[in-house]
Structure 1
Amino acid sequence: MTWYFTEDPAVFRAAAGPLLAAEPARNTTVLTLMDRAVRLGWWADPDGRVTGTVAVAPPCVPLLGAVTVAAARALASVLPYGPGEAPTEVRGETGPVEAFADAFAGATGRSWAPGVRLRLFRLGTLVPPDPEPVGRARVAGPEDVPLATGWAREFARDIGDDPDARDLTGPVTERVTEGRLLLWEDPGGHPVSMAAVSRTLEGQACVHLVYTPPAERGRGYAAGVTTAVTRTALATGTEQVLLFTDLANPTSNGLYRRLGYRPVTDHLSAVFTAP
């Protein structure tokens, strides 16, 4: 059993395509990052069958796809990276992440601590909120980019990420340009919540950037805009609609269950300290 690596998405897709197609939900982060990853990898059994994937986000953050604990443990010793590029964290399903973190820490003298714990949900049957919140959803336009970028920064801060770690204007603009970011407006026409959806890859898309400013929470706006963006994904023929929630946030976990989303697997980020 062996890990193979490439920087070419076409080579990766040719090798790992059957697994990506068979397990699109468990490989959603790999699929989303595939064209922007600094490195892609696949784990092959002795018969050549691919049973694991990884995408390395810049500068050097492994994102584990569907992968076994044994493969994740082996990855810690063979993942290629240059001087000064050692992983600062690893993300993926909880068991494989813990296996990678333990093996990497043991080999490098580092320690690691658990970061954000997430739960991956997949839509069963959409159940719109009843009663529906007041207002309406609309597709965000170019004039909404500054507002949505500001909210994206607040969203990043809420989930424990550093909003200054990367430019968010570009990704927000991309979603707006492609019609994948929706706003919920109150009856006065003021934006009060937002949600976006990824591009559809291998029949699946992921709802993200669900954010409501603190002053507007508790009015059902997040339920309204999540329902709307879910419908947008379904209308394009998406077979599986996914989303991640912070396990420390019982409000959002309860909301998505009420809307018809069902748990798939739990995820963890493991953060490494300096040696």
Structure 2
Amino acid sequence: MSWHFTTDPGAFLTAAGPHLAAEPARNTAVLTTMDTAELLGWWSGPDGTTATGVLVASPSAELTFGVLPVAAAAALVLPDGAEPAALRGETAPVEAYAAATGRPWEPVMGIRLFRLGELTPRDPAPAGRARPARTADLPLLGDWTADFAAVHGYAPQDDHADFLTERIAEDRLHVWEAPDGRPVAMAARSRTVAGQSRVHLVYTAPAERGRGYAAGVTAAVSRAAAASGAAEVVLFTDLANPTSNALYRRLGYRPVADHLGIRFTNG
């Protein structure tokens, strides 16, 4: 049993494809970021070849675990002795890796992975309608994305235009319009990979919260993800936010696994 690493997504898929496809929902974070990852890794099982665990490392030095045995997490040593600045994944492997390194760390977020069962849109529907985002929406959506990133502890960026433009061009970003035509909320979905798509970037303008707009736009994006061919539609929620957890349950999402995000400190 050992770790293997590559920078080539094709080689990664050749080695770890069956493992990724076996549980696409639990591997969603790896599947949706592997094309832009700085490093990809897989843990081989007792036969020395079959992948039984996976990870990706981002250019910002954040490590993300997919489905991964605790023993593999504890045995992980990155190439050239690299040390991640942050880590996220299912709770037990994250804690095992952190303990094995002996480095001090602090929790950043507790999140829960949900998978869609039967979509149950809000009834009655919130006022307004969903529509695909447009290029003209970019300035507003850029402000919303920056606020979303700050609230959820993501690394700050000077410009989210490329991130948003890609999703707009592929009809993967929706907004909810109030009856007067103003965009009041947004939600996005990942590309469908290995039969799964992840809903993300769910955000409502602060002055518009409490009106059901997040439920409306999340239902619209979830429906679009299923229509794109995703057999499994998933999302993450903040465990510290009971409102969002309750919202997604009402829409038909069911819990899969709890995740932990940590940041390594200097002590």
Q: For the superposition of Structure 1 and Structure 2, which TM-score range results when normalised by the shorter chain?
A: over 0.9
What is the DSSP-based 3-state SS (H/G/I as helix, E as strand, rest coil) of the residue aligned with 1:201? coil
Partner of 1:69 in structure 2?
Answer: 70
Contact 2:132/2:174 (8 A) holds in 1: yes
Contact 2:65/2:90 (8 A) holds in 1: yes
| Residue pairs, 1:86-125, within 5 angstroms | 86-104=83-101, 106=102, 110-125=103-118
Partner of 2:141 in structure 1?
Answer: 148
Distance in 1 of aligned mates of 2:78 and 2:244: 35
Distance in 1 of aligned mates of 2:142 and 2:207: 18
| Residue pairs, 1:153-172, within 5 angstroms | 153-164=146-157, 167-172=159-164
Runs of 5+ consecutive residues of structure 2 not aligned to the other structure: none
Does residue 202 (structure 1) correspond to residue 201 (structure 2)? The answer is no
Q: Tell me how many residue pairs correspond in the alignment.
A: 266
Contact 1:154/1:163 (8 A) holds in 2: no
Q: Which amino acid aligns with 1:63?
A: T
Tell me the CA shift for residue 86 of structure 1.
2.4
Distance in 1 of aligned mates of 2:212 and 2:23: 33
Identity of aligned residues (%): 59
Aligned counterpart for 1:218 among listed residues 210, 225, 230:
210
Tell me the CA shift for residue 252 of structure 1.
0.2
Tell me the CA shift for residue 145 of structure 1.
1.2
Tell me the CA shift for residue 236 of structure 1.
1.4
Distance in 2 of aligned mates of 1:153 and 1:38: 23
Does residue 5 (structure 1) correspond to residue 5 (structure 2)? The answer is yes
Partner of 1:44 in structure 2?
Answer: 44
Aligned counterpart for 1:189 among listed residues 181, 190, 195:
181
Q: Which amino acid aligns with 1:113?
A: E
Distance in 2 of aligned mates of 1:197 and 1:59: 22
Q: Which amino acid aligns with 1:102?
A: A
Distance in 2 of aligned mates of 1:134 and 1:141: 20
Runs of 5+ consecutive residues of structure 1 not aligned to the other structure: none
Aligned counterpart for 1:134 among listed residues 117, 127, 140:
127
Contact 1:116/1:246 (8 A) holds in 2: yes
Contact 2:222/2:233 (8 A) holds in 1: yes
Tell me the CA shift for residue 113 of structure 1.
1.1
Tell me the CA shift for residue 81 of structure 1.
4.3
Regions of 4+ moved over 4 Å? none
Contact 1:55/1:62 (8 A) holds in 2: yes
What is the DSSP-based 3-state SS (H/G/I as helix, E as strand, rest coil) of the residue aligned with 1:189? coil
The alignment yields a C-alpha RMSD, in angstroms, of: 1.2
| Residue pairs, 1:223-262, within 5 angstroms | 223-262=215-254
Tell me the CA shift for residue 157 of structure 1.
1.5
